Amino acid sequence: MQTANGNSEPAQRKALTEEQVNRFWTEGYLGIGKILEDDEIELLRREYDHEFELANSGRHPRFRSHAIGDTRMLQIMQMCEYNIHFRRLLYDDRILDLIEDLIGPNIQLFHDQALFKPARHGAPALWHQDNAYWKCSPPNLVSCWLTLDDVDVRNGAMQFLPGTHFRSQEHERLADNNALLDLSDQVDDSKAVVVPLPAGGVTLHHCQTLHYTAPNETDRQRRAFAIHFMNPGTRSLREMKYLEVSFEQPVLRMRV
């Protein structure tokens, strides 16, 4: 194939080293440092806060609040349908290049979500595999989890159990919140790896990697945005879409 620079092959672009790609497939996750500039982070924080202000006043159609005891995880599903700045992020080459190194150049959105742990009473995300919710086939989805605040173990940084992506596990529903799945009883969290990040940093994880985030008991809020990517042709058995291949969600990159 001819390209504009006259070479016979497309230029090789690599966002991840071979060692990082191997580590991802061995451990099921990767921590990547800061990928956004400070002015981009500031803009996204303002937009994020605006969307949650709408949600707090009952004016966001995709808002949910997940309570565990007296803590809350606030969630806006499909932020990309309401906010152009978050929609742009789906197409950001800095993110898509990372994803391409893991699942190849044909990349479709599965969904996105903003996950907000307010200061002092942010609920934990209990140990789970994403695909226990999604039931996607084949189970090859990769998530990019982006933080708009500095995160550490105390305000809800991602924690992963390395190597757990090789098999799916049955999940129980949380007793006092039927919407949430919980594997805590079956998890040896002494092996958990915490991935602290600066604002504008990301983690990548496979849809079967067991992960958890702690309650936010600090005075710092924790604003995160997760984008879940799949290959076109992935089917969600949960949505009973196994008879069809869905192109309802945007195809973000395609090289045929």
Please compute, for residue 188, the number of CA atoms within 13 A of its CA located in the half-sphere on the CB side.
5
Beta carbon of residue 24, minimum distance to ligand AKG (angstroms, whole number): 15
Spatial distance between the Cα atoms of 148 and 41, rounded to a whole number of angstroms: 6
Beta carbon of residue 77, minimum distance to ligand AKG (angstroms, whole number): 12
Contact present, 178 and 149 (Cβ < 8 Å): no
The smaller minimum CB distance to ligand AKG, of residues 47 and 130, is found at: 130
Query: 171, 211, 223, 235: which one contacts ligand AKG (CB under 6 A)?
Result: 211
The smaller minimum CB distance to ligand AKG, of residues 101 and 130, is found at: 130
The smaller minimum CB distance to ligand AKG, of residues 105 and 172, is found at: 172
In eight-state DSSP terms, residue 111 is E
Size of the site for ligand AKG (CB under 6 A): 10
Query: 15, 30, 89, 115: which one contacts ligand AKG (CB under 6 A)?
Result: 115
Query: 181, 197, 199, 226: which one contacts ligand AKG (CB under 6 A)?
Result: 226
Beta carbon of residue 140, minimum distance to ligand AKG (angstroms, whole number): 15
The smaller minimum CB distance to ligand AKG, of residues 36 and 115, is found at: 115
Spatial distance between the Cα atoms of 171 and 160, rounded to a whole number of angstroms: 17
Question: Tokens 């982006």 label which residue?
Answer: 146
Going by their DSSP bridges, the two strands 107-117 and 222-230 should be labelled as: antiparallel
Between 71 and 90, how does the x/- string for binding to ligand AKG read (CB under 6 A)? --------------------
Beta carbon of residue 165, minimum distance to ligand AKG (angstroms, whole number): 12
The smaller minimum CB distance to ligand AKG, of residues 72 and 235, is found at: 72
Beta carbon of residue 12, minimum distance to ligand AKG (angstroms, whole number): 30
156 binds ligand AKG (CB under 6 A): yes
What SS3 state is found at 126?
Answer: strand
Contact present, 228 and 112 (Cβ < 8 Å): yes
Which residues have CB under 8 Å from 189's CB, separation 6+?
Answer: 127, 159, 161, 212
In eight-state DSSP terms, residue 123 is P
214 binds ligand AKG (CB under 6 A): no
Spatial distance between the Cα atoms of 99 and 117, rounded to a whole number of angstroms: 26
Please compute, for residue 129, the number of CA atoms within 13 A of its CA located in the half-sphere on the CB side.
27
The smaller minimum CB distance to ligand AKG, of residues 110 and 145, is found at: 145
Spatial distance between the Cα atoms of 133 and 181, rounded to a whole number of angstroms: 8
The smaller minimum CB distance to ligand AKG, of residues 14 and 110, is found at: 110
145 binds ligand AKG (CB under 6 A): yes
Contact present, 192 and 160 (Cβ < 8 Å): yes
List interacting residues with ligand AKG (CB under 6 A): 115, 125, 130, 143, 145, 156, 211, 213, 224, 226
